[in-house]
């Protein structure tokens, strides 16, 4: 696959992502014409009810979906690269475990806590559990092997989940927790977007810069070391990106599984095994998947809405199978 081919693929994926966003803003439970949608964006009239619907409800929701998809897909790609485990997702490094534990503790001891503080503590939990997984990885005999990481992550995740479950049962919090983690972008507001989009764009950009090193580490640590790559630095910085992307995604849309697992595979089918290309391709594919899934969740039984997670699996799996089958020869 030549570089030109890859550029062409990325441009096509970008156009696909843009088209999905435009489609998702045009369609919805409320019947609004394409022209009205267009004028509401470029000639917004605050007195026009339909313009308000587009601007206040659909735009933030669709943009939220696009960047949430981007965040989870890129986080998944990075984790799959550093653990050299193609079944890895943000759940595997104990990141969710730490976030859930902290949120559980907040609910148990300070039930009146505000949404903002919950988000903050879930970030703190995610960071601490990642540091914990790292320390175990570092203590374990010299080299930081992907296997050590995966095992340390799985063990810590199991341990943290056990503690959370215990607290949740004791304080009867399961319903609160389920609601906090329920995935969905219906509640995304303009207030959340600027900071969230900035975080995602910067993190994705940095991930692309790390792309070359991520590709090399995928070929084995000895090789990477002999090529002069500082493995600890790479692991620290990439895990930092994962916490940032995963944490910000969960804060805005709750836990949305599957995107981070499946999108990197689809991206590899499109652009090969170089992470300088996998990361932008994942970002665009992830955004398209979540935008389309949310669109379907809104319009299949409109005005009733379906759960986003169900739709992501529903269109993600067939899409994945088709891509896997079609590209077999390449």
Closest CA to 204 of 269, 138, 277: 277
| CA 99 – CA 253 distance, rounded (Å) | 14
* Pick 141 or 175: Cβ nearer another protein: 175
Q: Find the binder of another protein among 2, 35, 42, 114 (CB under 8 A).
A: 114
Size of the site for another protein (CB under 8 A): 30
Between helices 211-218 and 275-299, what is the axis angle to 10°? 100
- Subset of residues 64 to 103 that bind another protein, contact rule: CB under 8 A: none
Interaction of residue 115 with another protein, rule CB under 8 A: yes
- Angle of CA points 201, 71, 270, to nearest 5°: 95
> In angstroms, what is the minimal distance from the CB of 49 to another protein?
5
Inter-CA distances, 174 with 107, 166, 168, 306, Å: 10, 11, 6, 21
Q: Find the binder of another protein among 35, 42, 112, 141 (CB under 8 A).
A: 112
Q: Find the binder of another protein among 52, 85, 165, 225 (CB under 8 A).
A: 52
Interaction of residue 58 with another protein, rule CB under 8 A: yes
Candidate ranges 109-117, 209-217, 238-246, 259-267; the one touching another protein (CB under 8 A):
109-117
| CA 327 – CA 74 distance, rounded (Å) | 22
Q: Find the binder of another protein among 38, 171, 236, 319 (CB under 8 A).
A: 171
C-beta separation of 242 from 92 below 8 A: no
Closest CA to 17 of 67, 53, 77: 67
Interaction of residue 3 with another protein, rule CB under 8 A: no
**What is the contact surface with another protein in residues (CB under 8 A)?**
28-30, 46, 49, 52-53, 56-58, 111-112, 114-115, 171-172, 175-176, 179, 182, 184, 186-187, 189, 254, 298, 302-305
């Amino acid at each position: 696959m030549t570089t030109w081919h890859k550029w062409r693929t990325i441009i096509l994926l970008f156009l696909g992502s843009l088209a999905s966003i435009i489609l998702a803003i045009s369609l919805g439970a409320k019947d609004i014409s394409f022209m009205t949608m267009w004028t509401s964006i470029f000639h917004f009239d605050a007195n026009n009810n339909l313009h308000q619907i587009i601007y206040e409800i659909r735009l933030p929701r669709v943009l939220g979906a696009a960047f949430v998809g981007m965040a989870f897909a890129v986080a998944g790609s990075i984790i799959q690269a550093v653990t050299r485990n193609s079944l890895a997702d943000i759940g595997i490094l104990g990141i969710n475990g730490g976030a859930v534990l902290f949120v559980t503790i907040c609910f148990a001891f300070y039930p009146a806590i505000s949404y903002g503080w919950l988000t903050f503590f879930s970030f703190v939990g995610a960071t601490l559990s990642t540091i914990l997984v790292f320390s175990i990885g570092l203590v374990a005999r010299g080299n930081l092997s992907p296997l050590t990481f995966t095992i340390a992550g799985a063990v810590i995740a199991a341990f943290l989940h056990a503690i959370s479950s215990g607290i949740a049962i004791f304080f009867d919090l399961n319903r609160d927790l389920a609601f906090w983690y329920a995935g969905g972008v219906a509640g995304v507001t303009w207030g959340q977007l600027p900071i969230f989009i900035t975080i995602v764009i910067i993190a994705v950009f940095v991930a692309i810069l790390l792309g070359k090193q991520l590709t090399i580490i995928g070929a084995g640590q000895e090789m990477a070391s002999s090529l002069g790559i500082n493995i600890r630095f790479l692991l620290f910085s990439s895990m930092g990106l994962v916490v940032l992307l995963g944490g910000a995604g969960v804060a805005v849309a709750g836990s949305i599984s599957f995107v981070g697992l499946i999108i990197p595979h689809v991206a590899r089918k499109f652009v090969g095994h170089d992470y300088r290309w996998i990361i932008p391709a994942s970002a665009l594919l992830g955004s398209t998947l979540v935008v389309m899934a949310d669109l379907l969740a809104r319009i299949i039984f409109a005005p009733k809405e379906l759960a986003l997670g169900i739709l992501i699996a529903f269109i993600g799996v067939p899409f994945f199978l088709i891509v896997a089958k079609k590209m077999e020869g390449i």
